[in-house]
């Protein structure tokens, strides 16, 4: 190892392992004829390509240079007002635009939360399993993890209560994806939502609610986000434009009503990159402000993903052996499957050869201690590919089980 790299910290072994798993998988994905259930990519054919060109032309014509200049750390006022209004409608409760901070994808929101809350060795409460990107963000601050048990209705409140009671020191926050979770596709039941907020408030543990898939509901009634039950700013909310417009704009938002937390987040964002792209914010805002067109755009995404989920669910039922268990999420982009008796990391090696990939479930467990599950993405590939891919995967599983 060279001189300069000896000075650098951040050699986290597990972080590298996770990163390299994903990078290896993405390499395979780029090969022709590989069907990928691996990434968490939206369907690119639904991106508003023509509208982005039109919106940019309008912005350059009407707003001009100030859309290319430095702008305020919190985000452009138009974007913050739009976020506040949309969230207020979902919550049936007022949201102030002052509480909104525009960030570069939810990933940056997680990073900034790590930066303001976490010192090396601090504890964070996570769902078991949890979103991989959150582990990566918090790893950079040398966090330690306490995993809360989940079932098909999300976090088990009794498990949460027991773990917090025994915790010493108290965890810095609970991180969760309550709706169409990444990786499992599960949704926290309405009964549990308020209970979990109350438990955390009782122990004075803040909640970070990551809600990227809220608008991707295929059936059933929308559930109120946890933040709608919060008193005194106990829940920090994360939303994103990546799933409803396009991830390449890197537009997402953090909503925090506690004034101290908000101030620290703004300072942290200022030190991290001054502000999010001005032009990207204007483009995003202009696109979502075409209200009818945006509503139709969202309906098309939901209809397409619903169709793909249905095809994947049906194909799993048709092709998979009995040893494979899987769920039928009511929305989002992922489905979760378990293969009794098979380590899915080893399985991935064999399925790469058969040109079908997924993310082994072990990546979503901070302790890397559960090996028989997998995350299957259904938003990216078309219906025919999904069917063929599941058939291929089933055949790899059958031959592995022998």
Restricted to residues 151-180, the positions that interact with a copy of itself (CB under 8 A) are 172-173
Closest separation in Å from C-beta 137 to a copy of itself = 5
Place of tokens 């592995």: 400
| Window 322-381: residues binding a copy of itself (CB under 8 A) | none
Question: Any contact of residue 88 with a copy of itself (CB under 8 A)?
Answer: no
Measured from the CB atom, is 200 or 362 closer to a copy of itself?
Answer: 200
**List 5, 92, 221, 341, residue binding a copy of itself (CB under 8 A):** 5
Measured from the CB atom, is 120 or 220 closer to a copy of itself?
Answer: 120
Question: Any contact of residue 191 with a copy of itself (CB under 8 A)?
Answer: no
Closest separation in Å from C-beta 237 to a copy of itself = 13
Measured from the CB atom, is 207 or 347 closer to a copy of itself?
Answer: 207
**List 25, 34, 36, 71, residue binding a copy of itself (CB under 8 A):** 71
Question: Any contact of residue 65 with a copy of itself (CB under 8 A)?
Answer: yes
| Burial state string for 162-190 with b = 16 or more CB within 10 A and e = fewer than 16 | ebbeeeeeebbbbbbbbbbbbbbbbbbee
Measured from the CB atom, is 277 or 331 closer to a copy of itself?
Answer: 277
Residues 22-51, mask of contacts with a copy of itself (x by CB under 8 A): -----------------x-xx-xx-xxxx-
Residues 249-288, mask of contacts with a copy of itself (x by CB under 8 A): xx-------xxxx-xx--xx-xxxxxxxxxxx--x-----
Please choose, out of 98-106, 156-164, 308-316, 354-362, the segment that lies near a copy of itself by the rule CB under 8 A.
98-106
Decide: 225 and 186 in contact? Cβ < 8 Å: no
């Amino acid at each position: 190892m060279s001189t300069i790299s000896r000075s650098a910290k951040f050699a986290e072994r597990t972080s590298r392992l996770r990163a390299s798993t994903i990078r290896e998988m993405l390499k395979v994905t780029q090969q022709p004829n590989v069907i990928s259930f691996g990434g968490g990519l939206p369907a690119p054919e639904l991106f508003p390509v023509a509208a982005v060109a039109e919106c940019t032309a309008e912005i350059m014509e009407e707003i001009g240079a100030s859309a290319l200049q430095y702008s305020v750390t919190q985000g452009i006022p138009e974007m913050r007002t739009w976020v506040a209004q949309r969230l207020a409608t979902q919550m049936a409760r007022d949201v102030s635009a002052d509480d909104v901070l525009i960030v570069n994808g939810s990933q940056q929101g997680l990073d900034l939360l790590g930066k303001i809350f976490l010192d090396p060795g601090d504890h964070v409460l996570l769902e078991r399993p949890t979103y991989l990107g959150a582990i990566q963000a918090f790893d950079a601050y040398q966090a330690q993890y306490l995993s809360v048990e989940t079932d098909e209705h999300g976090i088990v409140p009794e498990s949460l209560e027991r773990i917090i009671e025994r915790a010493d020191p108290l965890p810095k926050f609970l991180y969760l994806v309550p709706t169409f979770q990444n990786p499992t596709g599960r949704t926290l039941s309405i009964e549990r939502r308020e209970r979990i907020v109350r438990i955390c408030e009782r122990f004075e543990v803040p909640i970070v609610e990551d809600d990227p898939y809220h608008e991707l509901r295929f059936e059933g009634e929308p559930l109120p986000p946890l933040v709608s039950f919060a008193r005194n700013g106990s829940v920090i909310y994360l939303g994103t434009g990546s799933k409803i417009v396009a991830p390449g704009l890197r537009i997402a938002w953090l909503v925090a009503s506690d004034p101290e937390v908000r101030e620290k987040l703004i300072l942290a964002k200022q030190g991290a990159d001054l502000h999010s792209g001005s032009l990207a914010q204007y483009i995003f805002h202009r696109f979502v402000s075409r209200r009818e067109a945006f509503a139709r755009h969202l309906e098309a995404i939901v209809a397409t993903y619903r169709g793909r989920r249905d095809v994947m669910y049906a194909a799993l039922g048709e092709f998979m052996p009995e040893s494979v268990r899987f769920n039928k999420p009511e929305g989002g982009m992922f489905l979760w499957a378990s293969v009794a008796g098979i380590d899915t990391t080893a399985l991935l090696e064999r399925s790469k050869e058969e040109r079908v990939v997924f993310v082994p479930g072990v990546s979503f467990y901070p302790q890397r201690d559960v090996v028989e599950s997998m995350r299957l993405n259904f938003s990216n590939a078309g219906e025919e590919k999904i069917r063929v891919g599941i058939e291929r995967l089933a055949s790899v599983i059958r031959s592995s089980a022998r």
